Structure formats: structure tokens, C-alpha cells
Amino acid sequence: MWPALTILASAGILALHFWWKRRYDQVREKLHAQAGQNASLHEQQQVALAQAEVQQQALFNSMVEGVLLLDSRERVRLVNQALENLFGLTDDIRGRSMMEALRLHELQELVNRVRTDSNWNFQAWTSAVSRSTPLPCSIAPADNRAPSSSFTT
């Protein structure tokens, strides 16, 4: 009787092992398929993001006014061709602070004023480009939370 129970228990354990192995293989195949889908979706997302950035850059470069977008740490996030031409910029200034990028105390003072002013929307004149020609600057937050400043010159 014990040998029969031992054989029966061994057969049960062996059947359970194969059942779990088949189930493990099925889950692993689903995981691989899902990983392939995730990679495909990630690639599509990267392409869409690149296209959106190209469209955004084309839009900003088509503007006549110079646009400078700063992030919450006052680092340059975006600059258009009009501003590059206005200030004679030849290098990429994205990621730099205002003072590193443009070395203009007047514009840095405007940034500081925007940070402390409760109104947030105002017009200012600065002689940032040349000391003899005033430059009109419209300054406003890039979004409603006011973490960044956008300069239109």
C-alpha cells in the first residue's frame, strides 16, 4: 500500500510540476510580447516627441519677436532664431543661466523683478542690446504656476 501511495504522490507532484512549468512559460511569453509592445510604443513616443519638438522649434523660429524661455532654475530652455540674431548668439545657450548665456545684467534684473512682482505681466524697456537703443521686453510666466519666465523682445 505504501509503494502505491508513494507512486501516486510522485505522479501528482510530477503533474503539478509540469502544470506550473507550462503556466510559467505562458506568462514568460506574455511578458516578452508585452516588452516588445512597450519597446514599440516607446519608439513611437520618441518619434512623436521629436516631431513635436521640430514643429515647436519651427513655430518659434518663424516668430519675428525674440523668445527666451527660462525654467524654474532660471536656465535657458528655449531660444528662437530672432533672439539669436538680435543678440548675435552663435553657440547653443540652452541649459545655461541668463548671465552665462547673455551676460546682460539688465535682463537678469528683469528676471529678478518678474520673480518678485505679484503682477507678473508687465512691459519694460531695457538697453540690453546696445546702450543707446532701448529694447522693449514683454515678460510673462510660461504657465499659471509661474515657475518659469518667458521673454519676448
Residue 68: partners with Cβ closer than 8 Å, 6 or more residues away: 76, 78, 79, 83, 150, 151, 153
Task: Indicate if 132 and 96 belong to the same structural domain.
Answer: yes
Report the run of H or E that residue 41 belongs to, with start and end. Answer: helix 2-62
Range of the domain at 27: 1-62
In this structure, are 5 and 21 located in the same domain?
A: yes
pLDDT digits (tens, 9 = 90+) for 49-96: 999 989 988 988 898 888 888 888 888 988 888 888 888 888 999 999
Among 125, 142, 130, 133, smallest CA distance to 60 is for 142
CA 67, 64, 132: angle at the middle one, nearest 5? 80
Instruction: Please tell me the total count of domains within the chain.
Output: 2
Q: Which of 40, 62, 84 is the last residue of a domain?
A: 62
Cell output for 49: 516627441
Residues 102 and 117 in one domain: yes
pTM of the full predicted structure? 0.54
CATH number at residue 93: 3.30.450.20
Residues 72 and 132 in one domain: yes
For the stretch 137-148, pLDDT in tens is 666 665 544 444
Do 75 and 105 lie in one domain? The reply is yes
